[in-house]
Amino acid sequence: MKIESFLHDDTETYTHVLIDDQSHAEKLPCAIIDPVLDYDHKSGHTSTESVDKVIDYVRAQNLLVQYIIETHAHADHLSAAPYVKKQVGGALVIGKYITTVQDIFKDVFNLDTSFKTDASQFDKLTEEGMVFKLGDIDITAMHVPGHTPADMAYVARQNDKSAVFVGDTLFAPDVGTARCDFPGGDAGTLYDSIQKILALPDDTEVYLCHDYPPEGREHSPVTTVAKQKANNKHVHDGVSREAFIKMRTERDATLDMPRLIIPAVQVNIDAGKLPEPENNGVRYLKVPINELS
């Protein structure tokens, strides 16, 4: 099992490529996790410069993309999943509770009846305990709500190596944990979800969706369960559920909305699909006024 990580500088997001490097197939099976579309908020311009580096890597390594996995409907970047699928294929995977998030934000954005809230925009829906194969790698879905109702972590195991892709649920130990103040979020639920991740073996590698390093530390895509248990500043061993809820609630009350939440959520609940062009050939996003705070 091999994992290659790519940092999207603007949003400090990691896209991971999970590879069965022990396969004897002509093309090694792989999954691309949380691909990012470049989006300039000031101009509304999109590009694929960053994700093209991921695609170039996949092609150069002669990999076969079986899955494009979204850990959740991101609020801080637009998904590049449709572009990746068009370029290199792969089934688009997300947790089945994306339907809850679709229901919530269909109302927030007052989307018309053409927008479906049944997750039919995605190819494969996962739920707690589901196991699917990437070559000889077993991938187990773990439902980890709290940041949003639909967050999933994915535990990959091959031989004696294991890794978990945690989305926004956990950050690096010196950064902490995800916020819980988005619609459908809950601090107590997040604490419970994190305990499920921390119950994995200590040597399990924890692959992050984001890293926001303090001054003096370089970005890093990975840590371990042991390091999280010992050093995570929000949920290290000994932090009670009540203390975590208090900390998280007070901290979230001080945070601004993510810079890209309005375009990101609007696009990502529709599997990364941009709105259809209107009669002038231009695509438009909606901005709810005084709805999010």
Residue 292: its pLDDT value, please? Answer: 81
Whether residue 293 has pLDDT greater than 80? no
What percent of the chain is predicted at pLDDT more than 90?
97
How does pLDDT run across 96-142, given as a tens digit for each residue? 999 999 999 999 999 998 999 999 999 999 999 999 999 999 999 99
Burial of 98 (0-12, 13-18, 19+ CB in 10 A): buried
What is the extent of the structural domain holding 62?
A: 2-261
The per-residue pLDDT for 146 is 97
Q: Are strands 63-69 and 28-33 parallel, antiparallel or unpaired?
A: parallel
E-assigned strand segments in the chain: 2-8, 13-19, 28-33, 36-40, 45-47, 63-69, 78-79, 91-95, 124-126, 131-134, 137-143, 152-158, 161-165, 205-207, 222-224
Tell me if 253 is assigned to some domain.
yes
CATH assignment of the domain containing 78: 3.60.15.10
168 within some domain? yes
Q: Does position 291 have pLDDT exceeding 90, yes or no?
A: no
pLDDT tens figures, 197-250: 999 999 999 999 999 999 999 999 999 999 999 999 999 999 999 999 999 999
Query: What's 205's DSSP letter?
Result: E
Which pLDDT belongs to residue 143?
A: 98
Rounded to the nearest angstrom, the gap between the alpha carbon of residue 283 and the centroid of all alpha carbons in its chain is: 25
Give the model confidence (pLDDT) of 161-192 as tens digits: 999 999 999 999 999 999 999 999 999 999 99
Domain count, the chain: 1
Percent of the chain with pLDDT over 70: 100
> Looking at the domain assignment, is residue 268 inside a domain?
no
* Assigned domain for 77 exists: yes
Above 90 in pLDDT, residue 154? Answer: yes
Bridge-partner residues for 223, per DSSP? 206
- What's the one-letter identity of residue 124? K
